[in-house]
A = this chain, B = another copy of it.
Amino acid sequence: MHAIDGRKIARTIEERVKKQVEGKSLKLVTIVVQGSEESWLFARLKDRACRKVGIHHEILGLDTEKQEPIEQEIEKLNRDESVTGIHIQLPLPETMRYTELVGKVALQKDVEGMHPRNLGAIMLGRERIIPCTPKAVLTILHHETIPLKGKNVVIVNHSTIVGKPLALLMLNRDATVSVCHVYTKNLASCTKQADILVTATGVRGLITGEHVREGCILIDAGIKEENGAVYGDADESARMKAGAFTPVPGGVGPVTIACMLENVVEAYKNIHKGP
Contact = CB atoms under 8 A, between A and B. Distances in A.
A125 interface: yes
A143 B190 CA distance: 28
Interface of A is mostly: mixed
Interface string A180-208: 11011100011001000000000000000
Contacts of A122: 123
Given A99-B124, A123-B160, A124-B116, A181 B185 contact: no
Contacts of A176: 178-181, 183-185, 190
A125 B119 CA distance: 12
Interface stretch (A88-96, A167-175, A226-234): A167-175
A149 B183 CA distance: 7
A271 interface: no
A61 interface: no
A108 interface: no
Given A124-B99, A126-B99, A171 B164 contact: yes
Interface residues of A, number: 40
A87 to B, nearest CB: 17
Contacts of A124: 99, 103, 114, 116, 119, 160
Given A183-B176, A185-B152, A120 B125 contact: no
A103 B125 CA distance: 13
A222 interface: no
B181 A167 contact: no
A99 B117 contact: no
Given A123-B160, A123-B165, A168-B168, A150 B118 contact: no
A85 interface: no
Given A163-B171, A178-B177, A183-B176, A99 B119 contact: no
